[in-house]
Amino acid sequence: MSISDREKAYCRFLDNLGFGNSDDFSLFEKAMRHTSYVHEADIPIECSYERLEFLGDAVLKLVISKYLYLKFPDYKEGILSKLRGEIVADKTLAQFANKIGLNAFILLSENERKSGGEHKQSILACTFEAFLGAIYLTCGYDSVEDFIVSNFSCDICAIEQNIETINPKQQLQEYTQEINHTLPEYVLISKTGSEHNSVFEIAVYFNGKMLAKGIGSSKKSAQQEAARNALNYLKSEGLWKQ
């Protein structure tokens, strides 16, 4: 694809997203310039997406923080922070970039492209953040917020539904410390199998009461499973809210 063909396709892409009438196309183009591209083209590093990425990262965190704050009024700060961390992680942002087809327009050096740079999570995530920065500067905060919520709210909800998988040991510890400033106790019940194929069963106790058990191929995984089961038990009893 020639440069002119690419620009035409990129303009159609922006138009489909609702940004075709932006006052400054150059910012959207800048958002696609990876540092390897500007080095190869021998143009100033300021022409890469780095500054827009810096801005877009801050805008994204604000949008997501507001979204989570309003959507989940009963969630405590710790859970909201974990959710936001999952949403703004490179893996998630790379999925967002691929979902809208942003990867097709990233400008990379020849060597970076040969190594599959347009498929790398870190590059996709940074480009997506830079793209948000361009939206913010050309269209304003409301446009960024509308873009994220309208395109990715289902993905955000999917992450929220799996919140119990986000370090259950830490969540259980936060719960017990809030109750009486103590930690849950994990007790090994049994270890079966061979040395290289072991199965551990662990129980987790709080205030002298066993909350749940967990099974895993290592002590750590069994503890996580026990904590996850304990959170499910506490939630069913109305004793724990996310």
Quick: pLDDT tens for 34-90: 999 999 999 998 999 999 999 999 999 999 999 999 988 877 787 788 889 889 999
Number of other residues whose CB lies within 10 A of the CB of residue 127: 28
With b for 16 or more beta-carbon neighbours within 10 A and e for fewer, the 166-203 pattern comes to eebbebbeebbeeeeeeebebeeeeeeeeeeeeebbbb
51 and 145: one domain? yes
Number of other residues whose CB lies within 10 A of the CB of residue 69: 13
The pLDDT of 181-192, averaged and rounded, is 93
Say if residues 223 and 204 touch (Cβ distance below 8 Å). yes
Cα distance between residue 169 and residue 3, in whole Å: 52
Cα distance between residue 212 and residue 233, in whole Å: 8
The last residue of one of the domains, among 125, 144, 164, is 164
Determine how β-strand 185-194 pairs with β-strand 209-216: unpaired
* 5 noted as active-site residue: no
Instruction: Name the residue among 150, 98, 148 with its Cα closest to residue 123.
Output: 98
92 and 185: one domain? no
Number of other residues whose CB lies within 10 A of the CB of residue 9: 14
The answer as to whether 196 is a domain residue is: yes
pLDDT (tens digit, 9 = 90+) per residue, 187-239?
A: 999 999 887 788 999 999 999 999 999 998 889 889 989 998 999 899 888 88
Domain count, the chain: 2
Which pLDDT score, from 0 to 100, does residue 159 have?
82
The answer as to whether 193 is a domain residue is: yes
The answer as to whether 177 is a domain residue is: yes
66 and 180: one domain? no
99 and 159: one domain? yes
Of all residues in the chain, what percent carry a pLDDT higher than 90?
60
* 118 noted as active-site residue: no
The answer as to whether 242 is a domain residue is: no
In the chain, where do the E strands start and end?
A: 185-194, 197-206, 209-216
Instruction: Name the residue among 150, 152, 168, 180 with its Cα closest to residue 212.
Output: 168
Which pLDDT score, from 0 to 100, does residue 24 have?
78
Range of the domain at 16: 3-164
Domain CATH number, residue 35: 1.10.1520.10
Specify the 3-state DSSP secondary structure of 127: helix
Q: What is the pTM of this model?
A: 0.71
Which is higher by pLDDT, 130 or 197? 130
The answer as to whether 241 is a domain residue is: no
34 and 109: one domain? yes
Of the residues 29, 53, 86, 129, which is catalytic?
Answer: 129
Strands of the sheet containing 197-206, edge to edge, are 185-194, 197-206, 209-216
Of the residues 57, 86, 112, 118, which is catalytic?
Answer: 57
Bridge partners, 213 (sequence order): 203
Measure Cα distances from 42 to 28, 31, 35, 109 in Å.
Answer: 20, 17, 10, 11
Which is higher by pLDDT, 162 or 133? 133
Domain CATH number, residue 172: 3.30.160.20
- Identify the burial level of 49 via C-beta atoms within 10 angstroms of its C-beta, where 0-12 means exposed, 13-18 middle and 19 or more buried: buried
